[in-house]
Structure 1
């Protein structure tokens, strides 16, 4: 006797993906020209953001009981006169790398080891514009978090030493934001999955946990009920550092077997093949976006361009796969998402004594700038007529990958903006991914650790 079983097919749910137009195009570099000066980028940043910060300053300090004066130029500040002005923050830090000092040193002196932090008690904060700069002092400055490149407004007065004593500060604040359209049906919520730091090819790559993650995202793990839930994941964003570059053996470099720290005979294409296989398996089930990271085969300077599709011969054949920039804007079912592979927050981390990376990510929203320390200590392309890292709008979801641990918070702006900020650890160290609900903006970590 034979039994006939009804076939049960679960369909992956679809999501509407909106082209963000100029936001995406700003990160795509056509015709690279590295002869430009970085001063253009600082100038454009101040010109583009000054009026926004001034508007916030008038809104914050314009209704004070005692009238305060608005100063147009830094050098127009008068001693004893309460006023406010807007400029670009510059951090004077003795521990910060200085290329001029490196050039003037005797080349026989060994280079200093890379420091995890630049912050020191002797650091000074300056505010500058096209006219000059002034040193900022006061408790508000000594207790605050400041990095080079932020456009900031300050309220205070010049003291007898010629410094500007600050009593309050303001930033551009979160940008405008469209409301998330509510779901009109009783259908289950949709989710976007975020994965960072797969670390394929490294000594800490977790192949078993990686296979479990693939089965989870493709719906092969669990029974029909669990598979139906996985069908609500409409997109997977891989947030950088998918491949680990091989470590250089210093002894071989000194012996001459390697030139410039690179040995062609040691090249191994296997990590790239494994990544292509992973992406192909994912893309046959769900839409996948892969961003480059610091360790991936891509340009180092921000914005990083899409990893060349030639490295993904199998995945690139699928329409559900695309290689994108870092940082990366996308809009899924009316929810605007901004993702970064983490270099921006990693660099901010060096400027401050704090260890709270989630707070640093939240500050970039207040500064309305993804990577303010570029180009001072974070490599970036020398843009002349624009600054693509300015957040012209406030994202609903802001994910920073390759951080030390998972953390999240829903940030509410002054005008009611709601942004889910997520710091996501690398998968190779934590076996953790994140799922974000596109309707409620709730975020939950999913761990595949065997410990």
Structure 2
């Protein structure tokens, strides 16, 4: 009689570090000025040394009000970008603004058709006042390639320049917090040693453990195809492999997946963003959650799962978004392997720091930035109009700005924190992997030792991303029926 062969999945030690993104109590009497003040206080020391090092002869001025005319100076403040194309919202959210904020598909359209153009202007502000910034037309670039079109409201910067007789500063250079090689710090040695590889019988995989990044499953979406999702579930469980050691332990095998991270968009219901619901709508809104629960229970019985909320999920829209309540997931919630996490996400996996969002900050940044080139758009009435920066460029900007949600709370709804700005990427927060969910396509690059990953929308691309926990290289797995 043939003896059964035992098999084990790859694993990696896990430590959640998202506590600062979890709101224990909500108060809305405070002003939003507090979060800007704390942001400036936290990020000012990141920007000033970089400017002083590049311009040692310039005078560092503590506050805007202390600037002197005709003296080359360095001043730190919060940038405010004024766009003539921006639609101001008065008396609550307009219908157009609601579409941008609530509907992920519409958000992509708005992100492509940016509100930014060459007429944008910038001012700098701190607690002492405001300073108009003048970017000389003869200059091809400012501050090491930062132009007005690259910047957004809410970014803390150090400005080098001279104040003219009109009280405006002629900008020579702009410095943001920036990132340098080695800022990620060392990985936790004990957690690296605690990782295990997949095994089948006496054979051990030559492949290291990986983290699967998925986004936009859109379970329950009207007219959606559930077959790719079922293939994904079967892949994770090992059912798609032939069953021999070679297929179970090879590169890209589901047995090497130590953790699944779902970066928003798990449900495809539009009812959660459509206002008041009647009794029938409530029943319809519950169906996608029930279906999601079924699929998650199949995944959670095989591997650890982190479930982040997104714009279309049943949680409040304001960042940081609280976790999806376990009572909505009665089947999968029974498994200890399910972690309902906040958005943004922060954790250590195998000693490596993972940090990211479900994609809302990138979409909002793209609404207020523009590429250096204009392209022909599908809407013929906008041929040649400026287009937004790419999702990877926006993700790289969040790293260089050292802030996860730079446009919040100005145009991205965020909670009015008083004592801190938790979205600042501080000295000890620089991740090994920075990701964003809900992207139009997969993109990745390494910046100063940080692996950037744009996680593609699964509903439209049928793709997930595997991140190697040894070297952070990425591999895409696509699920489709030929």
Q: Report the TM-score, using the length of structure 2 for normalisation.
A: 0.82
Q: Does 1:237 align with 2:261?
A: yes
Count of equivalent residues = 422
> 2:461 — aligned with what?
430
Which residue of 390, 396, 408 corresponds with 1:356? 390
> 2:88 — aligned with what?
98
Give the deviation of 1:9 after TM superposition.
2.3
After superposition, residues 18-417 of structure 1 pair within 5 angstroms as 18-20=15-17, 24-62=18-56, 67-100=57-90, 102=91, 115-116=110-111, 117-138=114-135, 139=139, 140=142, 142=147, 144-174=149-179, 176-180=183-187, 188-203=207-222, 205-223=224-242, 224=244, 225-228=246-249, 229-246=253-270, 262-266=277-281, 267-268=283-284, 269-354=286-371, 355-392=389-426, 393-412=429-448
> 1:255 — aligned with what?
none
Gaps of 5+ in 1: 251-259, 413-417
Give the deviation of 1:313 after TM superposition.
0.3
CA deviations on 1:198-240 (whole Å, 9 max, x unpaired) are 1112135331111111111121111222223422210000010
Counterparts of 1:264 and 1:121 in 2: how far apart (Å)?
Answer: 49
Which residue of 466, 473, 481 corresponds with 1:442? 473
CA deviations on 1:258-285 (whole Å, 9 max, x unpaired) are xx55332133222111101111111100
Counterparts of 1:110 and 1:319 in 2: how far apart (Å)?
Answer: 41
Contact 2:134 2:169 in 1 (8 A): yes
Counterparts of 1:421 and 1:142 in 2: how far apart (Å)?
Answer: 22
CA deviations on 1:49-73 (whole Å, 9 max, x unpaired) are 21222222223333xxxx1111111
CA deviations on 1:275-327 (whole Å, 9 max, x unpaired) are 01111111100000000000000011000001000011011111111100000
Q: Evaluate the alpha carbon distance shift between residue 125 and residue 231 of structure 1 in structure 2; reply closer, same or farther with a 3 A threshold.
A: same
Gaps of 5+ in 2: 101-109, 197-204, 372-388
Contact 1:10 1:227 in 2 (8 A): no
Q: Evaluate the alpha carbon distance shift between residue 204 and residue 119 of structure 1 in structure 2; reply closer, same or farther with a 3 A threshold.
A: farther
Which segment is superposed worse, 218-227 or 297-306?
A: 218-227
CA-atom RMSD in angstroms: 2.5
Q: Evaluate the alpha carbon distance shift between residue 128 and residue 143 of structure 1 in structure 2; reply closer, same or farther with a 3 A threshold.
A: closer
Name the SS for the 1:319 alignment partner. Answer: coil
CA deviations on 1:374-411 (whole Å, 9 max, x unpaired) are 10000011100010101122100111000111100011
